């Protein structure tokens, strides 16, 4: 008898749940009594409670019930603009279950019912870029830029092409960003283009961007940049300029430029090496040996070559002997430690 009573109780609960679900699925929006405006908080509360019952339905039934309820709502009802959010919750649940087809279909329906919610191409572009879906971001940004020459689209394209290692396209749109924002605000792209053209062995273009960097920030560090990184960047520019002058055999100009690069990148043995070679080219042997000694004691990749050149010059001056060279090297170490 007790078991029968338990079963009966369970059946009653199941029946009640089913009836509640049916009522939630088929119910019409609450209609307020005469004198109570449909846009009042009183009506909103009752509509909200009805929607909450609908949200308890199984996922497949919930979608249809929400749309049916929404279609019967008075446009002035306070809950009306919020119905898209409840439908959006269903979209998320579909996605959580892996049912993307149903989610996409409902999302499209939401945009039909609420056209103002449909994202623009620019918004979709930004969303793809933030999600690091660079292929999608590029496709959307190319369309946006083609239509409007939008500055933000150029920025997204430049960044996305950098991220996908498409150097020529990144250079094209990086320059467009600089044209739009100026070198000061577009300093990231100025620096990237300087490095890019340097890697392409296009020294003239690389130097033009390094010059823009120096003009934009002659004494300060750009906002958001680490001081050490900025110093390295300027040092690379100065070094490249010095190399260009050395290659052109303008040794008088190359030497101070190499020294300027050392202000940004101290301890660069390559700079000291070429300072030494520049002095040697001009037959300033004492100065050449002094610079080569500094390069030699730094114990870096170019130090061995500097030591070879130094020994060659030293022997020529000391009857093919290296006696006393260690003293010169010790003086170089002492000079670098100062």
d(CA 95, CA 295): 63
Tell me which of 119 and 1 has the higher pLDDT.
119
pLDDT in tens, 176-210: 999 999 999 999 999 999 999 999 999 999 999 99
d(CA 189, CA 197): 12
Q: Which residues have a Cβ under 8 Å from the Cβ of 124 and sit 6 or more positions away? A: 140
> Where do we find the tokens 């055999």?
249
In the chain, % of residues over pLDDT 90? 89
- Would you say 54 and 30 are in contact if contact means Cβ atoms under 8 Å apart? no
d(CA 296, CA 303): 4
Token pair in block for residue 144 = 């946006």
Closest of 177, 171, 218 to residue 192, by C-alpha: 171
Q: Taking 70 as the threshold, does the pLDDT of residue 5 lie above it?
A: no
Q: What is the average per-residue pLDDT within 57-85?
A: 93
pLDDT in tens, 28-44: 999 999 999 999 999 99
pLDDT band of residue 268 (cuts 50, 70, 90) is: very high
Q: What is the pLDDT of residue 60?
A: 85
Count CB neighbours of 87 within 10 A.
20
Instruction: Using a cut of 0.75, tell me whether the model's pTM lies above it.
Output: no
- Would you say 62 and 55 are in contact if contact means Cβ atoms under 8 Å apart? yes
- CA distances from residue 46 to 43, 61, 182 in whole angstroms, order as listed: 5, 21, 57
Q: Taking 90 as the threshold, does the pLDDT of residue 138 lie above it?
A: yes
d(CA 307, CA 222): 39
Task: Tally the C-alpha atoms within 13 A of residue 192's C-alpha that lie toward its C-beta.
Answer: 22
Calculate the average pLDDT of the chain. 91
Closest of 162, 163, 210 to residue 187, by C-alpha: 210
| Chain-centroid distance, C-alpha 52 | 41
Q: What is the pLDDT of residue 25?
A: 56
Burial class (CB in 10 A: 0-12, 13-18, 19+), 268: buried
Q: What is the pLDDT of residue 338?
A: 52
Q: Taking 70 as the threshold, does the pLDDT of residue 11 lie above it?
A: no
Token pair in block for residue 4 = 């029968």
Q: Which domains does the chain have, with CATH numbers?
A: 48-118 (no CATH), 119-181 (1.25.40)
Greatest C-alpha distance within the chain: 122
d(CA 226, CA 158): 22
DSSP sequence for 124-190? HHHHHHHTT-HHHHHHHHHHHHHHH--HHHHHHHHHHHHHTT-HHHHHHHHHHHHHHH-TTTTHHHH
pLDDT band of residue 27 (cuts 50, 70, 90) is: confident
pLDDT in tens, 286-309: 999 999 999 999 999 999 999 999
d(CA 10, CA 45): 32
- Residues recorded for the chain: 338
Q: Taking 60 as the threshold, does the pLDDT of residue 123 lie above it?
A: yes
Q: Taking 70 as the threshold, does the pLDDT of residue 280 lie above it?
A: yes
Count CB neighbours of 6 within 10 A.
10
């Amino acid at each position: 008898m007790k078991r029968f009573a338990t079963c009966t109780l369970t059946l009653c609960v199941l029946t009640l749940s089913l009836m509640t679900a049916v009522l939630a699925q088929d119910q019409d929006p609450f209609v307020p009594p005469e004198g109570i405006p449909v846009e009042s908080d009183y009506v909103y509360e009752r509509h909200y409670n009805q929607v909450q019952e609908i949200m308890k339905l199984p996922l497949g039934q919930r979608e249809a019930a929400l749309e049916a309820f929404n279609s019967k709502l008075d446009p002035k009802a306070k809950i009306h603009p919020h119905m898209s959010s409840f439908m959006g919750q269903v979209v998320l649940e579909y996605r959580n279950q892996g049912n993307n087809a149903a989610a996409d279909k409902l999302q499209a329906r939401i945009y039909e019912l609420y056209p103002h919610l449909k994202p623009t191409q620019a918004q979709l572009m930004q969303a793809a870029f933030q999600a690091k879906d660079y292929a999608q971001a590029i496709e959307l940004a190319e369309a946006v830029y083609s239509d409007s020459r939008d500055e933000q689209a150029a920025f997204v394209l430049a960044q996305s092409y950098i991220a996908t290692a498409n150097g020529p396209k990144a250079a094209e749109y990086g320059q467009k960003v600089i044209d739009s924002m100026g070198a000061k605000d577009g300093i990231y792209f100025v620096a990237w283009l300087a490095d890019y053209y340097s890697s392409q062995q296009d020294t003239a273009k690389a130097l033009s961007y390094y010059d823009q960097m120096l003009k934009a920030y002659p004494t300060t560090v750009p906002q958001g940049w680490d001081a050490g990184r900025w110093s390295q960047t300027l040092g690379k520019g100065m070094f490249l300029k010095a190399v260009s002058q050395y290659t052109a055999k303008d040794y008088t100009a190359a030497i101070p430029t190499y020294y300027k690069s050392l202000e940004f990148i101290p301890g660069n043995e390559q700079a000291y090496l070429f300072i030494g070679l520049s002095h040697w080219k001009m037959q300033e042997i004492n100065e050449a040996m002094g610079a080569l000694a500094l390069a030699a004691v730094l114990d870096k990749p170019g130090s061995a070559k500097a030591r070879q050149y130094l020994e060659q010059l030293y022997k020529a001056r000391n009857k093919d002997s290296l006696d006393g060279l260690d003293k010169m090297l010790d003086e170089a170490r002492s000079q670098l430690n100062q």
